[in-house]
Amino acid sequence: MTLVDRVLLGPGPSNPYPEATAALAAPLLGHLDPVFLGILDETCERLRTVWGTDNRRTLPLSGTGSIGMEAAFANTVRAGDPVVVAVNGLFGERMCEVAGRYGATVIRVDHEWGDPVDVERVLAAHPAPRLVGAVHAETSTGVRSDLAALGAALRERGGDTLLLADCVTSLAGIEVAVDDWGVDLAYSGTQKCLGVAPGLAPFTMSERAWERRVEHPPTWYLDLGLIGDYVSGSAGGGRTYHHTAPVAMIASLHAALGRVLAEGLPSVFERHAAAGRRLQEGLVELGLDLFAAEGHRLPELTTVRVPADVDSAQVRRRLLDEYGIEIGAGAGKYASTVWRIGLMGHNARLDRAELVLAALRRVLGR
Amino acid sequence: MTLVDRVLLGPGPSNPYPEATAALAAPLLGHLDPVFLGILDETCERLRTVWGTDNRRTLPLSGTGSIGMEAAFANTVRAGDPVVVAVNGLFGERMCEVAGRYGATVIRVDHEWGDPVDVERVLAAHPAPRLVGAVHAETSTGVRSDLAALGAALRERGGDTLLLADCVTSLAGIEVAVDDWGVDLAYSGTQKCLGVAPGLAPFTMSERAWERRVEHPPTWYLDLGLIGDYVSGSAGGGRTYHHTAPVAMIASLHAALGRVLAEGLPSVFERHAAAGRRLQEGLVELGLDLFAAEGHRLPELTTVRVPADVDSAQVRRRLLDEYGIEIGAGAGKYASTVWRIGLMGHNARLDRAELVLAALRRVLGR
């Protein structure tokens, strides 16, 4: 079969770090092999560093990013629990859907798509919800919300409310500081700024969330009590088999995290910032309008309006066919009026920014 | 990092087919890329061939094998539904646990571990259960059960009962014939006879099961209605985004299935049979006792009793340290008194059988 080589500049997956790809093809290990268990322990430790947490329960879940959202709700929400969700894009919408399936009484706080989360409105929605959910980096709109402020406000109010953060498109691209911000539960995906193929959901859970967890959730596969006994060992010390870990994907994540931490998180963030800044400047130079609210734009994922006289799908098809470049359509009601351009992980580079700008310039005839 | 090379002869993962490893490291594609969607369609078509089914809903689920069990129960069982489970090992036990979490009234039909499923007893357990679950190839005991006979008996009785088959350790190693046997739901894992790293759960669902499904299951990630709209297209025709597919793992499964079908399923089954036969003969020649009931032994996974004067863990450690060979401990109460030796997928070869026999002979001093 002829292999097809793409430059993946959509909302994910992005092209993996070379170390991540090499690790995928390394000799496979058993999921109970002492060498693999060492890699797993080190992966969890490296995840603690990028999450900015000491949480013991920090691990890669065996599914794609969405499984992290499901695990968070399944392990914390009981029927009738009030749950406040800040909705400013597709993934806030999805939080409402998933929380509802686990029986939560969902209180939506709707925002215009493209705007960041309004902390005051979220706080005003309910005096003491079981959980507040918000998206740090909305993959559907390219918007960054201030979760530090949300966490500080919740802590100031006091009470038992847990804070859940969707960090699918932020982790290892912009700063995430779970402990400093007072985030109790957070999940990500591997195929964005972490620079790994899709297939794992890095996850972290505070002691506070652990103490308030649902002890016997409907899901067996995502029962964090059972998974934790395999990943971190049980209270008695030993590891208990739960399900066969996706060893190749974990080895790949381990390698990518090694690369990221060797470069250093400040340098990784600056690389994302510089690439995104250049892309956003360049798009404006092309006469295009950025979609996300100014001052709240993610560097790693840029949203831009499709000009009124341009066929969105045709441009994307030409970029793919003529240049091998994938960019994303918009999400939801913006499917044909917004493009999403990601410069994430290994693609967070000035050359990628210039490449997509040059190709867009040619295809748009500007 | 120094790479460690193992011969994986436990109950899985096994060493992948070389084509599967190469595909993991191929350039990554986007999950909506037309080239990837072609690979996904072809993967589902190839899965239909190895499952022996025309089921439209045949797909790889985005998690390890256990997620297939969870998806099966989540999408078919409502609170209070009577569910009969044939328990003759660990994975039958797990079926009871998972079915119970989704609210089923579980009727267990317990067997001695090491024995195959007794069709008459399963039928006698309940006159009209919602679902009967059984394990085709018990990974914990190395036993094959006659699911053709179970399916035929259920069809003869008539009624609405669905048949669920755990084929984690059988698919692409011994014959599986979903349509001929009257199986309504079945799942497998990629890390056994399919010869791929762990991370996906091949799954198939009959029209009958689809018509009786739970329309709004508690799980969003495993809602087969939503997943089906992405994998096979919705009733309206188009594909709808659900979650980002694990593209590298799917490309790897696609490649392994290509290899298996190029060799031809009859030849693949004969290769597994020959390797297992030789291993089992050789173990008896070493003076060891096989565990699974005679006449019901899986060729791809052999269980053998640890001699009374031998330390099971020490032997496994020496095999790993001195020969790079991984074999498995027993499961459950047989953890230290049984070994499990797999010759699955790419390892279903006479040279692997001779290798593990030779190493065992040395380590046991026989």
CA distance B58 to B247: 17
Chain B residues whose CB is inside 8 A of the A102 CB are: 218
Q: C-alpha angle with apex B132: B128 to B135, nearest 5 degrees?
A: 160
- HSE-CB at B266 with a 13 A cutoff on CA atoms is 0
Mean pLDDT of B93-117: 97
In this predicted structure, the answer to whether residue B291 has a pLDDT above a threshold of 80 is yes
Contact A109, A116 (CB under 8 A): no
Strand partners, A107: A84
- What token pair was written down for A14? 């992005």
Mean pLDDT of B295-310: 98
* DSSP string over A56-101: SEEEEESS-THHHHHHHHHTT--TT-EEEEEESSHHHHHHHHHHHH
Torsion angle in degrees (nearest 10) through CA of B294, B298, B301, B305 = -10
Chain B residues whose CB is inside 8 A of the A26 CB are: 3
Q: What is the Cα gyration radius of chain B?
A: 20
Question: A50 in the Ramachandran plot: left (φ > 0), alpha (ψ -120 to 50) or beta?
Answer: alpha
CB-CB under 8 Å, A35 with B220: no
User: Model confidence over B112-127: pLDDT tens digits?
Assistant: 999 999 999 999 999 9
Mean pLDDT of B317-345: 97
Shortest CA distance from A98: residue in chain B = B220
Secondary structure of B321-356 in HEC code, one letter for each residue: HHHCEECEECCHHHCCCEEEEECCHHHCCHHHHHHH
Mean pLDDT of B188-194: 98
Angstrom CA distances, B223 to A83, A95, B70, B200, stand at 22, 15, 11, 16
pLDDT at site A238: 66
Q: What is the largest CA-CA distance in chain A?
A: 66
pLDDT at site A360: 98
SS3 B83: strand
Task: Taking the CA atoms of A117, A120, A123 and A124 in sequence, report the sign of the dihedral they define.
Answer: negative
Instruction: Considering only the beta carbons, identify the residue of B33, B67, B217 that sits closest to A221.
Output: B67
CB-CB under 8 Å, B216 with A66: no
Contact A246, A200 (CB under 8 A): yes
User: Model confidence over B37-77: pLDDT tens digits?
Assistant: 999 999 999 999 999 999 999 999 999 999 999 999 999 99
Question: pLDDT 10s per residue in chain A (366 long)?
Answer: 789 999 999 999 999 999 999 999 999 999 999 999 999 999 999 999 999 999 999 999 999 999 999 999 999 999 999 999 999 999 999 999 999 999 999 999 999 999 999 999 999 999 999 999 999 999 999 999 999 999 999 999 999 999 999 999 999 999 999 999 999 999 999 999 999 999 999 999 999 999 999 999 999 999 998 887 777 666 555 677 788 999 999 999 999 999 999 999 999 999 999 999 999 999 999 999 999 999 999 999 999 999 999 999 999 999 999 999 999 999 999 999 999 999 999 999 999 999 999 999 999 998
How many Cβ atoms are within 10 Å of B354's Cβ, its own excluded? 14
Contact A154, A163 (CB under 8 A): yes
**CA B260, chain centre distance (Å):** 16
Contact A207, A193 (CB under 8 A): no
In this predicted structure, the answer to whether residue B237 has a pLDDT above a threshold of 70 is no
SS3 A165: strand
pLDDT at site B228: 76
CB-CB under 8 Å, A197 with B244: no
* DSSP string over A193-249: TT-S-S--EEEEE-HHHHHTS-SS-S-STT-HHHHHHHHT--TTS-----S---HHH
pLDDT at site A227: 86
Q: Provide the pLDDT confidence category of residue B240 given band limits of 50, 70 and 90.
A: confident
Mean pLDDT of B155-167: 97
CB-CB under 8 Å, A66 with B244: yes
Q: Rounded mean pLDDT of chain B?
A: 96
Contact A323, A6 (CB under 8 A): no
Domains and CATH numbers, chain B: 7-13+264-364 (3.90.1150.10), 18-261 (3.40.640.10)
CB-CB under 8 Å, A66 with B31: no
Instruction: Considering only the beta carbons, identify the residue of B27, B218, B242 that sits closest to A218.
Output: B218
pLDDT at site B235: 57
